[in-house]
Amino acid sequence: MATTETSFRVLSLPDRARESDDDRVYIRLRRELDIGAFGASAVCQAETGGEVIGEHDELGPGADGQEELYAVVQGGATFTIDGEEIDAPQGSVVFVLPGTTRKAVATSDDTVVLAVGGRRGQAYRVPPGGELFDFFEHYNEKDYEGALAACHVALEKYPGNALILYNIACMQSLLDRPDESLATLGTAIEKWPRFKENAQKDDDFAPVREDPRFLEIVG
């Protein structure tokens, strides 16, 4: 059977990591390779002791309750899973269920870890945090109107999601819409109270920080 240009794609993880000056490089394989059936990403960590997998449990407002499989394809890592340390040299795979806290650090230079995820028994969908990719691109360029529009697109897919609402509140604050911002922030915190701590330190809320309503919401 003849192949076509679109029947397969190849990407070198080490080569992609070398394109960045950062020690830790996150590669969005699902997006870059146009994968539709499952979530996939990779992390390249140049320094021993550096973070590979940030601590998370797949249950927060940015997550979607996915099971995750981590494969150490180069170097080595130490995973901490619900407080237990697990040595994972090159060639190891670590499977983690949602609700289980996990993180990992590199045990050698130039470590590469592949992550694959999905919800058991359900078709894959991009989690809420992933739906904010376009938002962050606009936000990093200080295009707050574009960032707000991207948030509303994500909210259509995840109505009432606390993470998306929180970022909408941030953009409304930066766009000098204090009434809208405070109302949205209040709803986000009702859904995920931990956002109180985020908001207290978040510079995006500098325009409303002295507003008594803000102090009441995050107090």
Q: Do 149 and 174 belong to one domain?
A: yes
Residue 79: partners with Cβ closer than 8 Å, 6 or more residues away: 53, 70, 85, 86, 88, 94, 102, 103, 104
Place of tokens 């090159």: 90
**Does 6 fall in a domain?**
no
Q: Do 28 and 91 belong to one domain?
A: yes
Q: Do 31 and 79 belong to one domain?
A: yes
Range of 92's domain? 13-118
Q: Do 172 and 208 belong to one domain?
A: yes
User: Among 88, 118, 148, where does a domain finish?
Assistant: 118
- Using the predicted structure, report yes or no on whether residue 3 has a pLDDT greater than 70: no
Residue 104: partners with Cβ closer than 8 Å, 6 or more residues away: 51, 52, 53, 70, 77, 78, 79, 80, 88, 113
**Does 4 fall in a domain?**
no
CATH of the domain at 30: 2.60.120.10
**Does 2 fall in a domain?**
no
Q: Contact 40/46 with Cβ under 8 angstroms?
A: no
pLDDT digits over 126-173, tens only? 999 999 999 999 999 999 999 999 999 999 999 999 999 999 999 999
Distance CA(216)–CA(204), nearest Å, equals 17
pLDDT digits over 62-113, tens only? 999 999 999 999 999 999 999 999 999 999 999 999 999 999 999 999 999 9
Tell me the pLDDT of the chain averaged across its residues.
95
Query: What's the pTM value of the predicted model, to 2 decimals?
Result: 0.87
